[in-house]
Structure 1
């Protein structure tokens, strides 16, 4: 790589220089050795390492200071056995009347959040919930969402944060995966709960909130707001649950990872603090900041990196129920925000809005998030006057986290060239067809990707280490599937992210693609297995495969399904499309429904379809590459699938047809 051969040259040159000057004085011999070694080092390519070291030292030094700050906070937390409840109590004690949350016209001080969450904890204990039990939380974003899981934590109850877009089978799957005994749901989601009520017969149901105009009656449901009014808002510190270990479970967040159906990833007290504090320390977020959080609170980004800035760092967090491109900058001005969160699609939507005075009438100094396309990075900063875009990479369940400190366009973070051992993440070569790591024939160990080469990001797992350990999933079997063994030496273990990145000579890392059985669309991870199962169920077909395809100028990958249509079958492709149009909305959230359909004569049934998926991905949705197979696209206005020909594809490329 950058370092190994030049270092060998450095040693060899030093020996040669010493031998040449051996007959002279000792000091001359030493100086000659150094000079010859340096020349040999430079000629062997060492100048690249020296250049990289000089250019990246300020970046690495800043990161090292921040890393030490995070480690110090985690060590204190571990030594004193402090959970998130105790850390939040420290924040409340410092600034009880400061604003914790703002939502529409509501103002929630830290004292109000504390008292509300105390009521939640007292009520849960009074109704027979005990430490360790799991309660699902299914609601749209609002301050109560964060207060509810905080109250659960005060009672020792583990929250399962459910994606509010889920419906039918997907919703039931997530509830069962967490083994939830009760569910708290927002009144606005009552229709979704009613749809699966028969599958939740043994689960206690609690409804809260005004429903935002949604009226839906549901039998056997408890009115949580009414019950909460009678609960005490006081709770002595000794009554609040204190975890036996900071590695105890705080809540679950669902992730598709890169294999199979959505899985419940464990967020421990330690992991929440590590993620929130790392972002807060590196980006210097504190009590003087107001953070605009328009991302879903069931996600890591909105629910941990956003809410955590209030609970642990004392900042004010402005919560919005759902993102609005037209209201974004007006909100930032209205609430005097200094920091905002984003995902890539959000930035593109903002650029598509007509110019307004508020575009640069705000006080934002920083935006942080992921998925910002390099092609619009500078344009976004120029138009909206945001000085720093802190792009990051992170997988909820992993030990692999990166962040861009210095506005390097396109980079999701960096790995140190000077001290690669300090944060042991690696890029290993993968087979492009199977997604499996490439291994040396003789040793069986993984092959490291070089500068500019694509490789899967993996992170060294060290049990008990504050930064390198993993919490994994609720399912131990699912966790084990994500562990890659014998990577650099026999017996080692690394977390497999399933994401392909590449690194330049300065250590900056760039996201390329996802391997495995998920793709990312509209800021959500989509499980191909889940979509395939839904399509097969709707169409009563065994053979279909789902994958993500790239669209020009759009972040992520759009869902596409290849479906076997038997020539002699009674149902025509049009009949099958009608079934999908009618039945898929009740089974899958909008972001998971395939935007493109390709009817094929057969799908290879050997292996896991990965080879076939690779070819299908390469074809994409382009009519000229799909061998004359019937193609259709989802017209978002009518909700129906329409023929995809060259004319329609050209309209998609121009942006006339949007998704």
Structure 2
């Protein structure tokens, strides 16, 4: 017996080493933990449904009874315990019911910046069995009117400060006698300090359980809107299953405990901060510290003041924090983990090193999507990936997600002669699809509120076999041989030039390596007169030092233009090098959402017509044939292109 012949002092370390290798190679530990979390949260959700207690008001109430003195919310220097918060929620619920006559399942729109009042209104509505619609406080004009109307609400409660930013035309539109789809008027209440005082003097009443009864996991809990990067915002139905199961899953995945303090200044109108942030805190019974809005200068001060242990980021947040001048205080905090989505690979390791953050918990998901990808990263192995799945997850849950080959000219999956899609090979980009129950689509995908057309457009049928159904994410991802998932692009953002597909995310990542020159980079394809396809254009915000020079002189430093061109030409295929460079006059002009995500559609529409680009003070440059630096691009150059005198 060979094993018996091996001395014990050698066999045990060898066995441990072998197990460690297998765990590292196949990620058995993380897979088993995630699988257990997935199963147990589903079981808990089903139990809640059987008990007719899917409303998270009951979880809030439970903490108020079992841990009344534990802090739940920190905002603007004030702390609120679970008991104090619960009492406020009851007061707000009572006020909402008596003031407006709100009934069970009514939808009420709230248009607020981050604040404690946002939380009280939200849970106050849940306490009486009503449903909130979270309006993006940055919206004005048509997008705002559309968002409120699409919710079907008869009531809009808007923060006084937000109301003050709206123009007279928008206010008149909201207050029109026939605003609603049914021809009725909308009740609009600007929430002033006197309204808050009125509520503080109310005696809160807990509504009986019947007010919240009859809810199933797939019923609507909240309306949360898409970002509107591809058109007007659409209200996505966020179910009780999602607001209950997802936060519990995240709580287990992150290892949140009652001692943690979770800091977010991401907008509460978005699912990341609301469902995963507040919801995750509620699942763990810990505390959440809320920032009014994102300010890079005050971000770490807020973290230190609240003694935050976990921070949340979305989009370019971490890049903006990296643009701060280095400080001796950079690592003076209690933060052990950064949790969010959209952390670019070029920023990831630098952010961890500079600020001493041990763990990055990156995920991929969509507000309306039925599933997600997760990557809890403590080392360099999974840096830059939006998800990691090992052998266990791949085997048992492999059918729940699939990447399929794309036709990037038509922006849709390729179908073979039999009409089915083709699975993409490892490391080959394609659209990520999530499996749906073809017999009950609404079980995991509730779609968009009262919008069957938009809902059905997200469901693909007959993908791999006849009759199956998948959720179309609209995103291009790739998965490597090691089980790491990487985000490539939004469908429609990838463009073709010189018969090659160009990933805007990959080009932005390369340019982002020049952090001393650029603070932000947004890449997209533009139509060029006399040319097929789209040429690459990079719209950039200069670094603070370069921006100061730009604003002082009105010109971009020639060395900066040459260095950017050289870097792109050395590190990108010729077809992927941006031929145009748009320099924003300032950071505010950079077209990003309230969640620090970049928008491209307006930039694409403006293209490289100098009159459209420069009307707001931006500057436009191009990499002319044979040139090694970007030079200014104006009307004369545009006329040459239009006349066919220059071939790119």
Same fold flag (TM > 0.5): yes
Contact (CA 8 Å) 1:427, 1:456: kept in 2 or not? Answer: yes
Quote the residue 1:81 is aligned against.
Answer: 52
Question: Post-superposition shift, 1:197?
Answer: 2.2
Contact (CA 8 Å) 2:438, 2:468: kept in 1 or not? Answer: no
The 5 Å alignment of 1:623-634 reads 630=610, 633=613
CA distance in 1, matches of 2:492, 2:604: 20
Question: Post-superposition shift, 1:289?
Answer: 0.3
Please list every run of 5 or more consecutive structure 1 residues that lacks an aligned counterpart in the other structure: 1-49, 211-222, 520-546, 565-580, 600-620, 653-659
CA distance in 1, matches of 2:346, 2:630: 21
Aligned pairs, how many?
514
| Aligned counterpart in structure 1 of residue 105 of structure 2, from 116, 125, 132 | 132
- Alignment RMSD (CA, Å): 3.4
Partner deviation per Cα, 1:186-229 (whole Å, 9 max, x = no partner)? 1111134444122222111112245xxxxxxxxxxxx6325424
Contact (CA 8 Å) 1:290, 1:337: kept in 2 or not? Answer: yes
Residues 460, 255 of structure 1: alpha-carbon distance in 2 compared, 3 angstrom cutoff: same
| Aligned counterpart in structure 1 of residue 617 of structure 2, from 631, 640, 655 | 640
Question: Post-superposition shift, 1:463?
Answer: 6.5
Contact (CA 8 Å) 1:598, 1:630: kept in 2 or not? Answer: no
Quote the residue 1:308 is aligned against.
Answer: 279
| Aligned counterpart in structure 1 of residue 122 of structure 2, from 128, 140, 149 | 149
- The SS at the match of 2:312 is strand
| Aligned counterpart in structure 2 of residue 457 of structure 1, from 429, 432, 445 | 432
Quote the residue 2:235 is aligned against.
Answer: 264
CA distance in 2, matches of 1:548, 1:406: 25
Residues 195, 75 of structure 1: alpha-carbon distance in 2 compared, 3 angstrom cutoff: same
Residues 504, 594 of structure 1: alpha-carbon distance in 2 compared, 3 angstrom cutoff: closer
Of 56-65 and 378-387, the range deviating more from structure 2: 56-65
| Aligned counterpart in structure 2 of residue 412 of structure 1, from 380, 386, 391 | 386
- The SS at the match of 2:406 is coil
CA distance in 1, matches of 2:235, 2:121: 19
CA distance in 1, matches of 2:89, 2:270: 20
Question: Post-superposition shift, 1:306?
Answer: 0.9
Contact (CA 8 Å) 2:218, 2:442: kept in 1 or not? Answer: no
- The SS at the match of 1:380 is helix
> 2:310 matched to 1:334?
no
CA distance in 1, matches of 2:122, 2:337: 28
CA distance in 1, matches of 2:36, 2:84: 35
Question: Post-superposition shift, 1:640?
Answer: 2.9
- The SS at the match of 2:37 is helix
Quote the residue 2:65 is aligned against.
Answer: 93
Partner deviation per Cα, 1:41-70 (whole Å, 9 max, x = no partner)? xxxxxxxxx989943222312221221232
Contact (CA 8 Å) 1:430, 1:455: kept in 2 or not? Answer: yes
| Aligned counterpart in structure 1 of residue 457 of structure 2, from 481, 504, 511 | 481
CA distance in 2, matches of 1:385, 1:651: 40
Residues 381, 435 of structure 1: alpha-carbon distance in 2 compared, 3 angstrom cutoff: same
> 2:416 matched to 1:440?
yes
CA distance in 1, matches of 2:48, 2:438: 18
CA distance in 1, matches of 2:227, 2:90: 33
| Aligned counterpart in structure 1 of residue 76 of structure 2, from 104, 121, 124 | 104
The 5 Å alignment of 1:162-241 reads 162-193=135-166, 194-200=168-174, 201=176, 202-210=185-193, 224-238=195-209, 240-241=211-212
- The SS at the match of 1:326 is helix
Please list every run of 5 or more consecutive structure 2 residues that lacks an aligned counterpart in the other structure: 1-20, 177-184, 496-502, 513-518, 530-584, 633-648
- The SS at the match of 1:433 is coil
Of 123-132 and 188-197, the range deviating more from structure 2: 188-197
- TM-score after normalising by structure 1: 0.71
Contact (CA 8 Å) 1:472, 1:479: kept in 2 or not? Answer: yes
Quote the residue 1:35 is aligned against.
Answer: none
Residues 206, 68 of structure 1: alpha-carbon distance in 2 compared, 3 angstrom cutoff: same
CA distance in 2, matches of 1:416, 1:195: 55
CA distance in 1, matches of 2:33, 2:117: 36
Quote the residue 1:10 is aligned against.
Answer: none
Question: Post-superposition shift, 1:491?
Answer: 0.5
CA distance in 2, matches of 1:516, 1:172: 27
Partner deviation per Cα, 1:73-121 (whole Å, 9 max, x = no partner)? 2122222121111122122222112111101211121122212221221
Contact (CA 8 Å) 2:291, 2:302: kept in 1 or not? Answer: no
CA distance in 2, matches of 1:81, 1:516: 43
Contact (CA 8 Å) 2:219, 2:239: kept in 1 or not? Answer: yes
Contact (CA 8 Å) 1:459, 1:495: kept in 2 or not? Answer: yes
> 2:49 matched to 1:59?
no
Question: Post-superposition shift, 1:244?
Answer: 2.7
CA distance in 2, matches of 1:507, 1:458: 16
